[in-house]
Amino acid sequence: MLYSEKVMDHFSNPRNVGEIENADGIGEVGNAKCGDIMKMYLKIDNGVITDVKFKTFGCGAAIATSSIATEMVKGKTIKDALKLTNKAVVEALDGLPPVKLHCSVLAEQAMKSALSDYYRRQGIDPVPIVGEIGECEACH
């Protein structure tokens, strides 16, 4: 498995690890059976993501994609955070081995799941804004 230096950097020094007490949105995707679970915590003030933390059970790529995804949305507006794609995550990591691409999908889904949870807590239906968050295709 050939990981880029960026992946190894985010794996060995993951950014924003942990939990947020009184988070405004929490999302969790993946399952233990296929070996990846990602959980994202968001603190949102006036439509801006002021803090973000993650916890991940998974391989090196899963940890690195979670870490970089948190970096990519921190300080951004919800609107910008919703634009986070798995492709952008892969690019930011200088690429991922093909068998690990599903980890970047999980990172995107984890972020969207946390944003959906935020909207739900506001009493807003998240589906028209965030869209449906499917199951990880690689697991099925």
Please list the active-site residues: 34, 103
Of the candidate residues 38, 73, 84, 133, the single one contacting another protein (CB under 8 A): 38
Residue 56 is a binding residue for another protein (CB under 8 A) = yes
Sequence-distant (≥ 6) Cβ neighbours of residue 122 within 8 angstroms: none
Provide the minimum distance between the beta carbon of 22 and another protein in the complex, in angstroms, as a whole number. 17
- In angstroms, the CA 112 to CA 20 distance is 17
- In angstroms, the CA 64 to CA 98 distance is 15
Count, residues near another protein per rule CB under 8 A: 30
- In angstroms, the CA 84 to CA 55 distance is 18
- Residue that the structure tokens 């949105």 belong to: 25
- In angstroms, the CA 75 to CA 127 distance is 23
Per-residue binding letters, 8-27, with another protein (x by CB under 8 A): x--xx-x--xx---------
Provide the minimum distance between the beta carbon of 110 and another protein in the complex, in angstroms, as a whole number. 10
Residue 101 is a binding residue for another protein (CB under 8 A) = no
Binding site for another protein (CB under 8 A): 1, 8, 11-12, 14, 17-18, 28, 32-39, 54-63, 99-100, 138-139
